[in-house]
Amino acid sequence: MRILVDGLDMSGKTTLVATLIKTLEARGVAAVRHRGMLAEHHPVEPLLKKLPLVRQAQSSAITAAFLVGGYALDGLLVRVDPPRPADAVIIQDGYADRTIAFGLAGGPYLTAALALWASQAFATFDVAVYLHASAQVRRERMVLRADVDAADRRSVEDEPFAARFNASLLNFVGRRHRNLLIFDTAEHTPEEIADQVLAAAGLPTLPTSESESRWSA
């Protein structure tokens, strides 16, 4: 079972990933957070980690390296070399979806468009969850974060870019997933979102009475 959590910076990805893992473990289901390539032994990933991803908007080479040498190759390898442990639910924090949407929103546009055309080459997930929140909400969250880079600031301060990014995820990249959920993290708590995600994945959820008490609170 693989669940993808993706979206703009400060949209609540890390918080939801942690909540999903905590919720599953409380119900006796092993779960792990995963980032980067899915294949356990991806030969190119160590090299990709050396590239300055923050410069993606200025470099077609960086975008192509991640999408082709990284995620497209990963889509092939993961079939025979899946992530470990094999008996745990994989909660993936970001994937090719984010790289493509970033490219469609801010460049390099051609590289991202070609990747979108060939998006079925990338690994898919049992459930994909796209998160978003208003610029004001994400700005407030950014103030509380100690480590903020240029990509974080752009996603918060450049509202046209953020709008294009979200539109790219919802209208284009999201089509590659059979089961897609979309949440505004300013409108729902992480626990509420986690319950809906796990229900969509067919994983253990809260009893009806307990779930209702959370919503009423």
- For the beta sheet containing 31-34, the strands, ordered from the edge strand earlier in sequence to the opposite edge, are 31-34, 89-93, 2-7, 127-132, 180-184
Q: Specify the pTM.
A: 0.90
- How far apart are the C-alpha atoms of 73 and 141, rounded to whole Å? 35
- How far apart are the C-alpha atoms of 32 and 198, rounded to whole Å? 14
Residue 206 pLDDT: 56
| Contact (Cβ atoms closer than 8 angstroms) between residue 175 and residue 122 | no
- How far apart are the C-alpha atoms of 183 and 186, rounded to whole Å? 9
Average pLDDT for 3-24:
96
Q: Residue 209, Cβ neighbours under 10 Å: how many? A: 7
Average pLDDT for 32-54:
93
Residue among 74, 99, 85, 81 nearest 33 (CA): 85
Per residue in 134-146, pLDDT (tens digit) is 999 999 999 998 8
Token pair of 216, please?
């009423």
Residue 211 pLDDT: 42
Per residue in 196-215, pLDDT (tens digit) is 999 999 987 655 444 443 33
